[in-house]
Every structure is written in structure tokens, then in C-alpha cells.
Structure 1
Amino acid sequence: MFYYTDAIIEQLAIHRVGNKLQDEFYVLSEKPVDVSDGVLSQLLMHYFLSPFAKLDEVYRLSHPSNTRSLNEVFHFSNSFFSGELEFLELSQQLSKHLFEVSNHPNIKGGELYIVHLRDVQLEGEVHEAIGIFKSENKEAYLKISPVQGAFGLDYEQEAININKLDKGCLIINSESDEGYKVLVIDQTNRQQEAVYWKDDFLGVRVRNDAFNQTGNFLKVYKKFVNEELDETFELERADKIDLLNRSMDYFKNKETFQQDEFAEEVLGNPQAAGLFNSYRQQFEEEFESPFGDQFAISGQAVKKAQATYKSVLKLDKNFHIYVHGKRELIEKGYDEEKGMNYYILYFTEEH
């Protein structure tokens, strides 16, 4: 978990970065911003850091060639943390790099905030960090103030909502030899142009820890059950729900994933187990994120994945049947006279 209650803003620089493809430019500040005002500092802390409080995924700065020093954000951050680069130059170099990759027509220009932070806490350890934040969207705000027995009304046309950070990144000065611990926020773009922040600018990939191994495994297994098994086995929807429920029960009740144990207790079929192993290997090779034969199970990841594991049989628009277990108590048939499918459910008590 990430905590910022005791964090301190040491330095802040603000620059503006436009869209290179739209012939916009960047404007670089020549000096840092004074953040000695306590109220301003607290507002900035809320704006910059509060969105990260609920994040679980930790990333690494990387490069496709596996030569991490070729990643510009890693190079400049590492130079700053090691004392080879001054803060203002760090902020200017990061701004120039962002400008160079802002070449999709839908990317919005905006202010880029580079922050040097002290005493941020991640996973129980306190560190310094570099914060990179971008504001792209502005809103109009009304301002009301008392004036001679009445109230005056004014407005700010293009103001920033401190509860809506558009894009952000925290580079924690920890585990530099592995690409640092990195937290990432992108709240604005959900389309193709959004990849520029994570991929083109930051160059990050997910850290392969227990949280991500657990979450990725459950995603791969769910996709395998819903999309792949049909090519070999004739499965009813109730069978698929049963396979998903059994996998969720396994991850809820175990502390460690064991490949052979999972295949026996959940899949229960050597042919299906072989198909799944081949399927997961494709994921491991494509995303360079091996699961291994065993890994620690993250309860947080299981809880997050459970929300996407649907155990509902939707029958036309008339009925929804929630299936929590015991596949043998559900039978499916076809009524020739009515020309309709039906389910028989066996139960002891009605609540």
C-alpha cells in the first residue's frame, strides 16, 4: 500500500507540453515553484498523491531491448537520485521527452508538474520519490465572497479540479537495479492514444510479484474457460461457471498456487490441463511474465478478480440463476412440445 501522510514536497517545477503533431510546442520554466505556503502544499499533496492511495499494481521502468538505461525516464531519474543531475534540469529533460512522444492527434497539451518528494511510504518502507503529473482538462469555477453586507460573485474560467488528476506517475527510489518501483495513473484517455503515457513516455511494465501473478493467472484462466475450451469440449454455460467457481474457491482457500494441484483439483481432466498449460505459456511468452509452477497467492488480487468472475446464468430476459457450486444439482434439458430449453434445480430449503 502507498501512504503519503508524512510526505513532503521538496521541490516543484511546472512546464507546459503541447502536442508535437499539432505543431504545438513546450514552454519550460527557468526556476522551481515556491511551495513554502502550508495550505498550498497540502492542496498540491492531495491533488498529486491521493489518487495513488488505492493502487495495488507496481510497475518497473524498462526498455524493449532489455537495456534499461535506454529508457529516458529511467536514465534521468537515476541520474537525479545519484546526484548527477540537478532537479530543474531533470524536470526540463522529462518535459522534452514527453513532448517528443506526444504525437497522436488526440493527445491534449497541458501543464507538466515534476515534484521531488520525501518520506513517501510504499510497502512498509519510507523513500524519496520523483512525481510526474500532467493536467489536461480545465473546468470553470465560481468564487463567492462577502462584499459590504452582500456577496460578490466571480469565476475562474480555466481552473484545475484538485480531485481529478489526469495523469500521474511516482518513481520510488527503491530497487533501481530492477527499474525502480513505479506507480501509474491515467484517468483520461481510454482509447488507443492512451498508450503514449505508459508505453511511449514512461516505458513501464508490470512487476511480476504475487499480486500480478495471481491477478494475471485468474484473467488467463477465465479467458481460457470462456473462449478456448469450446474448441475441444462441448461445455454448457453451467459447466463454465462451475470451472470458474472452482478456481476461485482454490485461490481463496490456498496460500500458494501449485500447478499440478490446481490441474487436479480444479480442471480435473488431463487433456484440459494440457490445453491450459499451452494456453498460459502463450501469455507468458507474449508478455514476458512467467507464472512458474508455484507462486504465493495474493488475497487482494483474488478479491479484485472475484468481481469479474460472473456466476450467473441469464435466461432470456425472464430469469437470472446465480450458481455458487455443486454443478450436479443443475440439469439442462429440452422440451419438444414447447420448443424451449429448461433447467431443473435440486435444493433442500427455500429461503
Structure 2
Amino acid sequence: MPKIVLGNISRLIIHSIGNKSTADGVRLCDELSNYENVADNLNKLITTNFKFDELYQFYSSLDLSLNRVYTIIKTMFEHTHIDDFINQSKNMGRYLYEKSNHPQIKAGELGIFYLADCTVDNEIVDCIGIFKSENKQKILKVEDKQTGYDLADIEGLSIHKLDKGCLIFNLHKEQGYLVAIVDNTNRRAEAKYWTDDFLSIRPINNDYHQTTHIMESAKQFIAQTIDADDEASKSEKIGLLNRSVDYFKNNEQFDLQQFEQQVFAQDDLIQKYQDFSQNYAQENQLEPVRNFDISPKAVKKQEKYFKSVVKLDKNFHIYIHGGKDMIEKGRDEDGRKFYKIYYQEEN
């Protein structure tokens, strides 16, 4: 993961983008926005919202020059006059409007800004940022009157959280630049318009990305394949999940063959996992990998999605951290289900 330090905003323009499906239209501005009075808050909003664990790049299945946002950004970097910046920002606003055609997409303000003198691994580069604000925040303003104080509500942009945004660093132009994103409203399918339809980006194939997707594919395989097997119990499933997490927590390097042997052990289960992971890679357009450095940050993020608890009705929770051979599942003469647990000593 590169070390990135952001510079300060040197220019900003804001446009209003509606929903095309309801013919809201757009309002494209001809002048840069004045942000001098809120410069500190604006810079803090940018620096606190973006994380650089997973980075992206623009792409096109045919040719990178067909990616509209990429070509706009490329022109902005190559032609830095204010008039060029304003004109290209309008092009971006028009393009976002074309992609805002799902009825659930909210209208909002589109901001395009320029960050000069950013640092990426000790290299000084410029950066162009984009954000869209969809959810307004209300605050109460205290109005001073001669006889006392009144309260009035004011609606505006949050100074703490961006709804959607991206930073494009002027590096690796031929590969689609270096892109960081934030999307705090990506909860439903229609929200994918920001990353997929509008930006058209994909993750850079680094250690964080590889760790994330191997762990995700293992989790999905265990959930889908083991659940489909009537003879597999919840404890066996949890044992596989725990062994998966333990492998990533206890190793610095990932080795596919070693991972398969330590986690799945049985030849038939390994073969099922290999078939599943191959399909998973194809569906998610991932390159097959056998070895890479494990990203501790990716492991920490993914670990919380690996369940290790068997919930029995509303009475008991059994936390399982391995040792499936010490757990026996059965049913008594009255048809009641039970777990029998063996142990060496009580702590």
C-alpha cells in the first residue's frame, strides 16, 4: 500500500445534478466556487473520508480511451487553465446526469476540485477529486434578537462525511491512473451507478485486494457448499471458517496449495473449492493467484464476517474455535437435538 499525503484544495466548482428518469435536469455553473471561509473544514472533510487500503484504476473492456471519466480527467491534467477545468467539469456533470437514470438515485451537488502537491511514496503529484452530496444535514442556528434568541433550522452539506467521492492521482496514466474512492451510500444495487456506470473502475490487483477476495471466496464456498450438504453440521462449517481465518492471521505469505491442505484437508473438498474459486474468479473478473503477501488490514476487516457461533434456539450460544472432533451432534429418543462437547480441562 503506497504512503499518500494529500495537499490542499486549490480550486473547486460545484454543479447541481438531478435524476434523469424524472427529467430533473442539471444546473452547470460557469464560475469556480468560493470556499475561502470554509477551506479548513473542506480540506479536513477530504483527508478524513478517504482511505488508501484498496486502490482502483479506470478501465474499459474495449479500450481505456472509451472510459468517459478517464478521458475528462486526462484532459484536466494535461490542460490546467481555469477555463479548461470549468469546461471539463461541465462535461463530467452532463455525463453523470446521463448515468443517473435509476428512479432511486437522489439529486445532489457534484463537486470537482484540484489538489496540488500531494505525495505518493515521496513523489509529488497533482490530484483531481470528485464528490457528490445526496443527503443533506440539518442544523439549528441560534439567531440573536434584541429580546432573546430564536432557533432556525438550516439544511446543508455534512462537514464530517462524504456520500460519494473519488480521488484521482496523476500517476500510471496508461494503466488508468491511481484512484481512491469512498461510497457511504452504496447499500443497494442502484448505488453501483457511481463506481460501475459512472466511474467504471476496478481494484488494482495488490496484496489487499488479493487477500480480500481469497477470504471472501473461501467464506462464500463454505457457506454455500457446506450448507448444501445434509451431512455437514454447523460445527463443521464453523471449524472451516475458523481455520480459514487462522491461516491468514498466522501466515505472512499466502500459498494456495498450503491453504487448501490446512483448511479443507480432504481431497474431494479441495476439488470442490478449486472449482468454486475458479468460477468465483471468472464472475468477478479476477486474475488467478497462487502466492502473494497477506495484508493484515484486509484480514482484520474480513475477520468480522467469519462467524464462529452456533446459536441454539434462544437459550444457548456455543463459541467454537476449532476441534470439531471434540463435538458430537445427535438426536435423542424423544426427537430432541443435542450437542455433546468433550474437553480436557476447565479454565
Q: Equivalences for 1:200-349 in 2 at 5 Å?
A: 200-229=197-226, 231=228, 234-336=231-333, 338-349=334-345
Amino acid at match of 2:282: E
Tell me which of 137, 153, 159 is aligned to 1:139: 137
**Deviation at 1:307?**
0.3
1:26 aligns with 2:23: no
Normalised by the size of structure 1, how large is the TM-score? Answer: 0.91
**Deviation at 1:124?**
6.5
Sort the Cα spacing of 1:176 and 1:119 in 2 relative to 1 into closer, same or farther, 3 A. same
> Is 1:127–1:173's contact at 8 Å kept on the other side of the alignment?
yes
Deviates more, 1:96-105 or 1:42-51: 42-51
Q: Equivalences for 1:115-194 in 2 at 5 Å?
A: 115-121=113-119, 126-148=124-146, 151-194=148-191
**Deviation at 1:119?**
3.4
**Deviation at 1:302?**
0.8
Tell me which of 59, 68, 71 is aligned to 2:67: 71
Q: Secondary structure at the match of 1:78?
A: helix
- 1:12 aligns to what? 12
Sort the Cα spacing of 1:302 and 1:41 in 2 relative to 1 into closer, same or farther, 3 A. same
- 2:78 aligns to what? 82
Q: Secondary structure at the match of 1:100?
A: helix
- 2:94 aligns to what? 96
Deviates more, 1:71-80 or 1:232-241: 232-241
Unaligned runs of at least 5 residues, structure 2? none
> Is 1:2–1:121's contact at 8 Å kept on the other side of the alignment?
no
Separation (CA, whole Å) in 1 of partners of 2:3 and 2:12: 20
Sort the Cα spacing of 1:343 and 1:123 in 2 relative to 1 into closer, same or farther, 3 A. farther
Q: Equivalences for 1:30-41 in 2 at 5 Å?
A: 30-35=30-35, 37=36, 39-41=37-39
Amino acid at match of 2:164: K
Amino acid at match of 2:93: S
Separation (CA, whole Å) in 2 of partners of 1:308 and 1:40: 39
Separation (CA, whole Å) in 2 of partners of 1:274 and 1:145: 70
Root-mean-square deviation (CA, aligned residues, Å) is: 2.3
Quote the sequence identity (%): 38
Tell me which of 58, 62, 67 is aligned to 1:61: 58
- Alignment length (residue pairs): 345
Separation (CA, whole Å) in 1 of partners of 2:5 and 2:205: 28
> Is 2:6–2:47's contact at 8 Å kept on the other side of the alignment?
no
> Is 2:164–2:185's contact at 8 Å kept on the other side of the alignment?
yes
> Is 2:17–2:27's contact at 8 Å kept on the other side of the alignment?
yes
**Deviation at 1:64?**
2.7
